[in-house]
Amino acid sequence: MAVLGAIDLKKRFKLPGQKPIEVLKGVNFSVFEREKVAIVGRSGAGKSTLLNILGGLEKQTSGTVTRPANIGFVFQQYHLMPELTVLENVLLPTMSAKYAAVLGSPRRARGRAEELLSNVGLADRMRHLPSELSGGEMQRVALCRALVTEPDLVLADEPTGNLDAWTGSGILKMLTELASASHKFALVMVTHSPDAAAICDRVLTLENGVLAGGEK
Amino acid sequence: MGFPLFLAAKYLKPKRSVASVITLVSILGVMLGVAVVIIVRSVMTGFGDIWEEKILDFKPHVSLLPSSGAFVEGEDEIAAEVRKIPGVTCVTPEIDTRVLLSYRGRVLAPVLIGVDGDDFKGAYRVGSPRAGTFDLEGDSIVIGSSAARSLGVWVGDEVTVYSPKTLVSKDEVFLPVKWKVAGIFSCGQHDYDSGYAVASLPNVRDLMGMEKGVFAIHVKTDCPTDRSKFDAVVENAVRLSGGNLRAVTWREADREIFNALAVEKNMTALLLSLISLVAVFCVMNTLLVLTVQKTPEIGLLKALGFRKREVMKVFVVHGMIQCSLGIVLGLLVSWAILSNLQNIVEWLARMGLEVFPASVYGLAAIPHRLIVTDIFWVVGLVFVFGLAASLIPAVCAAAKDPVKALNQ
């Protein structure tokens, strides 16, 4: 069963004094439950724009997107709140009105966050601030934050883009392990990394505004 | 703890320092605004109280005037009845008229009060004589200290008193009389010390060519500021006079002064509220800076599923925390300053800055009184201003595009 669907998705940017740029020219694809999909392509091809549209952060010019209500995001820049501890950063989505009901009591949310942090080896860093963590550790925290609401879909934008190859492969390994752990989710990952693409079931290439590719 | 309060509290304490400097500055701004408004209103209330006290000490609380005609007749009987009313402390039949006083070529036109000598001290609380006595026996007169200075007279000097009848009566000739200055009073209020003189009722009656009667019956009470009790006294006094007299209360007699004081206080409050407005602008500036600093985090919140309203609340709560802290500190500072106001004034005087010269105000200490309603008024005003000032940056924050915000 498809958890994510895009039909004839188009995106056009209008810049003042310039010709409109059509980044997406009719993207059609579906992502199924527990499926891992990598989207690759050259810089500026529109991969991040596609991911933002799929996640509802940006509006498409035309076309239809069918997405689940519960989506987790992982960003290249981690985007952890510097004022919050590691545990508070992971718990952040559960504080929103949207997700407060998903996990029920705050105690359950806290248990889930602590379990995730233990799974990624950060059980002893829960009280630390992001500034006290390495890049790899910060991305692990960001992964836990994306998964704390038990999403049906995780959208990851270059999750290893800011990390060295060794740390990046560690993150990918964790992502794979988490994906096959108790809660299973579909993954759409924009990446330049062949290693990252290698963990996915399908690799799609975004070129000239359309997606190409198929089964791995 | 709700999410807006949780995150707003976190924003108060940046990761690298104990507290945000710009937040501290805006809290101090609100604190100063609140403290200044409360201190100034308290001092103005204090001055209003002094005015009221001086008026109540010198002027009658109620004047019973004839409803028709110029004189009150049967004044002793009426006064005896009015004295029986609970709350009445002194009743004096009087003749008040403007006269001309002259002494060695100097002329002054004070109000001459004709009153029974025994009632003078009860009716006019002017303290002890500055010089001489308040004995109104014989051809004597008691005058205010400023009037005495203007005329150049002292105790024992004889002043010439010209009746106003001289000017209005064509058929009769009213010769001026010479009265000896028996005493000089000083009540600390320039208008009274310069504009009033007192003589015995029979002497003033003679001066006015009257055989009997008075112009008014003046009443002092123990409850001039207790509206309900005072109104009952006034009503009883009018009733006991047989309906031939009408009452003019102290508030009506000096309506202009009290209106002027009220207008002055309200205008000052209005102008000072602008200080609060400026202080609240500090809060708005801080929040605007914060929304710029936190742009990626605002984008993150929206990406994580937080609604616009939730993002707005974070910044509104942050602004209200600043206002609340500023208000609490402002109240503490104003309390501390008002508790030590006289010490501060004296210290400034020792430093060469005379902010409250006793010679100008005729008061030993700077008056002040803090009214609870003033506190509620200031707190409410700052809260309303603060809420309005917080909403603008909060709306700006909530309106940010998540993708652009995340990429900033």
Q: B272 Cβ partners below 8 Å, 6+ apart? A: B36, B37, B40, B41
Tokens of A154: 């995780």
User: Residues A101-111: pLDDT tens digits?
Assistant: 777 788 888 99
Tokens of B121: 């001290």
User: Residues A49-70: pLDDT tens digits?
Assistant: 999 999 999 999 999 999 998 8
Q: In residues, how long is chain A?
A: 216
> How many C-beta atoms surround the C-beta of residue B171 within 10 A?
4
User: Residues A70-85: pLDDT tens digits?
Assistant: 899 998 888 999 989 9
Mean pLDDT on B272-300: 89
Question: Would you call A83 and B403 a contact, using CB atoms and an 8 Å cutoff?
Answer: no
Write down the pTM of the prediction.
Answer: 0.77
Mean pLDDT on A111-120: 89
Sorted by where each starts, the structural domains of chain A and their CATH numbers stand as 2-215 (3.40.50.300)
> How many C-beta atoms surround the C-beta of residue B40 within 10 A?
19
Question: Would you call B304 and A81 a contact, using CB atoms and an 8 Å cutoff?
Answer: no
Average pLDDT, chain A: 88
Q: What pLDDT, on a 0 to 100 scale, did the predictor assign at position B74?
A: 84
Mean pLDDT on A173-200: 82
The answer on pLDDT for B1 being more than 60 is no
* Whole-angstrom distance, CA of residue A175 vs CA of residue A173: 5
**ipTM score of complex:** 0.90
A32-36, B23-27, B49-53, B376-380: range with lowest mean pLDDT: B49-53
Q: What pLDDT, on a 0 to 100 scale, did the predictor assign at position A215?
A: 47
pLDDT bin (cut points 50, 70, 90) of residue B118 is confident
Q: What pLDDT, on a 0 to 100 scale, did the predictor assign at position B11?
A: 86
Question: Would you call B10 and A79 a contact, using CB atoms and an 8 Å cutoff?
Answer: no
| Pairing between β-strand A2-13 and β-strand A62-66 as defined by DSSP bridges | antiparallel
Q: Does B399 touch chain A (CB under 8 A)?
A: no
pLDDT bin (cut points 50, 70, 90) of residue B19 is low
User: Residues B176-199: pLDDT tens digits?
Assistant: 899 999 999 888 778 888 899 999
Q: What pLDDT, on a 0 to 100 scale, did the predictor assign at position A216?
A: 42
> How many C-beta atoms surround the C-beta of residue B56 within 10 A?
17
Parse chain B into domains and list their residue ranges.
3-53+258-407, 60-252
User: Residues B230-246: pLDDT tens digits?
Assistant: 999 988 888 887 777 88
User: Residues B92-111: pLDDT tens digits?
Assistant: 999 999 999 999 989 999 99
* Whole-angstrom distance, CA of residue A42 vs CA of residue A21: 16
* Main-chain phi, psi angles of B109, to 5 degrees: -120, 75
Q: What pLDDT, on a 0 to 100 scale, did the predictor assign at position B358?
A: 67
Q: What pLDDT, on a 0 to 100 scale, did the predictor assign at position B362?
A: 64
- DSSP per residue, B376-401: HHHHHHHHHHHHHHHHHHHHHHHTS-
* Whole-angstrom distance, CA of residue A35 vs CA of residue A7: 19
Chain B residues with beta carbon closer than 8 angstroms to that of A73: 303-304
Question: Would you call B15 and A58 a contact, using CB atoms and an 8 Å cutoff?
Answer: no
Q: What pLDDT, on a 0 to 100 scale, did the predictor assign at position B101?
A: 92
A197/chain B closest Cα distance in angstroms? 24
For A49, name the nearest residue in chain B, comparing CA atoms only.
B403
Q: Does B202 touch chain A (CB under 8 A)?
A: no
